[in-house]
Amino acid sequence: MRGIVVISNEGAKWLEKGQTWMYRNNLVRMDDCIQNGDVVDIHTEDGRYMGSGFVSTLSHVVVRIFTKNRNEELDRDFFKKRIQFAYDYRKTVELNNLTNCRLVFGEADLLPGLTVDRYNDILVTQISSYGLDIRKDMIYEVLLEVLQNDGQDVKGIYERNDIQVRVKEGLEMYKGYWRNADLPTKTIIDENGLKLHVDVENGQKTGYFLDQKSNRVLLRHITHGKRVLDCFSHTGGFALNAAFGNAKAVTAVDVSQTALDQGYRNAVLNHIEDRISFVKADVFKYLENSKRGQFDIIVLDPPAFTKSRKTVNAAYKGYKYINKQAMELLEPGGYLITCTCSRFMEIDNFEKMLREAALEANVTLKQVSITQQNHDHPILWTMEETSYLKFYIFQIV
């Protein structure tokens, strides 16, 4: 018999729209017998069933909902079906990138709290839910089973459970191999013809930014013979694609020497190191000191300027400043590539910022394309949290 969590009528409205998180401010009461990580049923105050999932007695997200079928058990068969469903989707949309893609994207794959990325024969996981964490052995075994049944070569699972959100769930932060401590933590992936070093132990996120794969190729297709500036270059994803697309010259700018060194190693790996200059500098100052007409394409791929709604206004100013600077540096016919990876910087607000920046820079933007994150990071329309990356290409006219 499952414990019952009672939600307010206001909270129920969100669940009716497809939200898979039940927040603490919508909690009315829960059964005394409920333990952290238990499977619970959510009811309204008048007894309507709203869904079932794992409870967290500490987090602001009280329940992560996995099903709205009260007769469905959250057992091994359930997770095998969900993981198989997620994998079949990747086989459809990412068939040529199965060895370097996100296999499970949490809520978007109806597996809230679970992230799984693949880099060749290594799976990298992140678990942000107490209920999933106490069942992780079963989940990992199912993951391996699904892939191995399809003939995929996977040797181990590396846990990047060093994310701060785990603390809110009452979980420890750590990273390391699950059961296979002697496996390597570095590998070389192939991303659309480019070879890239990936360090699953120390790299950003789970080792690399997979969500910009298709967007980096969009840049590659327009760089032939052009001078390209890649701002906030990190390990050189956009700069490498620009050089691979036969750009005339590429400058990669980042404040981190470590990231630039990794970018140079990637350039050497692809025999294009002579086409890219790696510059350690503050991007804001670098743009201020650059000259109009110096570049034909400018890429702005900054880290998230805001990670909460409270700091959106400050982030707005930061985005506007760098975009205005870039617009003023580009001659008519030049291209601006700009994006935000913050889900709190919503599309309408980001576009408003771009319009203001263009007006102040006295330029007109001609839209080339608008995209979001790569297909292996799908967007669930009932969960706004799954939509975070906005990517724009403009020509200056």
Rg of the chain over all Cα atoms, to the nearest angstrom: 23
DSSP state, residue 346: -
Strands across the sheet containing 227-231:
276-280, 249-254, 227-231, 297-300, 335-340, 390-396, 365-371
Q: Do 332 and 365 meet the contact criterion of CB atoms below 8 Å apart?
A: no
Asked if 146 and 81 touch (Cβ cutoff 8 Å), the reply is no
Single-letter amino acid code for the residue at 389: L
Active site residues: 341
Question: CB count, 10 Å around CB of 167?
Answer: 12
CA distance 10 to 199: 44
Q: Phi-psi category of 225—alpha, beta or left, where left has phi over 0 and alpha has psi -120 to 50? A: left
- Residue located via tokens 């760098």: 322
For residue 29, is it left (φ>0), alpha (ψ between -120 and 50) or beta? beta
Non-local (6+) Cβ contacts of 47 within 8 A are: none
Structure tokens at 323: 């975009």
Residue type, 25: N
